[in-house]
Structure 1
Amino acid sequence: MLGWIVRILFAIAAPITALFLSREALNFGLIQTIVTMLLVTALVGLMAAYSERNRRAPH
């Protein structure tokens, strides 16, 4: 299950990385991994903000 999530994130990160770097570049995998980490960080931040927003909602 975790492998699926990582594979999806890498599939999303590949075209983003390709905007800045050629796919034939030697460090494409490294930059793709960094972009994937940024996506994970953004996703966790969005989930935290969303859960905090629901917690502060008036009843």
Structure 2
Amino acid sequence: MGWLLRIVLLAAGALAALFVARDAPNFGVVEGMFAVAIIAAVVVVLALTRRK
């Protein structure tokens, strides 16, 4: 489970770095928002693919 969270945060950090500098004080907040958005997108995709 930890490796899955690490992958999500790695992707969120890369996306957040496109919009906010890594040394900005709010980088952690932006990274967290991207992580939540990624998790929500995965849940939506899984829900739509399992729907018949």
With the length of structure 1 as denominator, give the TM-score of the two structures: 0.83
Larger radius of gyration: 1
1:26 alignment counterpart: 25
Within-5 A mapping of 1:41-52: 41-52=40-51
What fraction of aligned residue pairs are identical, expressed as a percent?
A: 31
With the length of structure 2 as denominator, give the TM-score of the two structures: 0.93
Q: Deviations over 1:1-58 (max 9, x none)?
A: x211110000011111011100000110111011000000000000000001xxx2xx
1:17 alignment counterpart: 16
Q: Where does structure 2 lack aligned partners over 5 or more consecutive residues?
A: none
Give runs of ≥4 in structure 1 deviating > 2 Å.
Answer: none
Q: Where does structure 1 lack aligned partners over 5 or more consecutive residues?
A: none
Aligned Cα root-mean-square deviation (Å): 0.7
Q: C-alpha distance in 2, partners of 1:26/1:44?
A: 29
1:6 alignment counterpart: 5
